[in-house]
Amino acid sequence: MPEHGADPDAGPARGQADKLAEFYAEETDVRHPMAPLGDTPLLSREALRQHFAAAGRAGLAGFRVEDVRVHHTADPEVVIGEFTYRGDAGWAAPGIIVFRIRDGLIVESRDYIDHLGLARATNTVDALCAQLTNA
């Protein structure tokens, strides 16, 4: 139970969201072109911080990134990362992210994630289907 007046979003998950957001420039352009409900660009570090914090609250117990492979390209700013999100309940969701990195910070990325796998991991497949049906 948080102390009286304490931020309920504080704690390990929020701290991880903050740390992850620090890899991005203040102004950035992050898109999820294959998001089943459409792509809503995340255009700032703060928007990403909120996005990561919400993902941390989504019920992904033991969430971690594994099987990471990094591919360099002919453009020195562009790096491609392959990985698998995994969780304690045995779920896995593969992904590929194309990053543009400038001055040591991510200024742009295109994230291609197995959204259906994440919906299965969070037991939200029915809700996703309902949203898709009503869209």
DSSP secondary structure string for all residues of 3-71: PTT--TT-SHHHHHHHHHHTTEEEEEEEE-TT-TT----EEEHHHHHHHHHHHHTS--TT-EEEEEEEE
Considering the chain, what is the average pLDDT of its residues? 85
Domains, the chain, in order of start with CATH, read 12-134 (3.10.450.50)
pLDDT recorded at residue 45 = 96
Cα–Cα dist 91/20, whole Å: 22
8 Å CB contact between 132 and 36? yes
pTM over 0.85, yes/no: no
Tell me: pLDDT of 25 over 60.
yes
- How many CB atoms sit inside 10 A of residue 52's CB? 19
Model confidence over 65-86: pLDDT tens digits? 899 999 999 999 999 999 998 8
Tell me: pLDDT of 116 over 50.
yes
Confidence bin at 97 (pLDDT 50/70/90)? very high
Mean pLDDT, range 89-109, rounded to an integer? 93
Burial class (CB in 10 A: 0-12, 13-18, 19+), 113: middle
| Residue of higher predicted confidence among 48 and 92 | 48
Task: Scan for tokens 């995340």, then name that residue.
Answer: 42
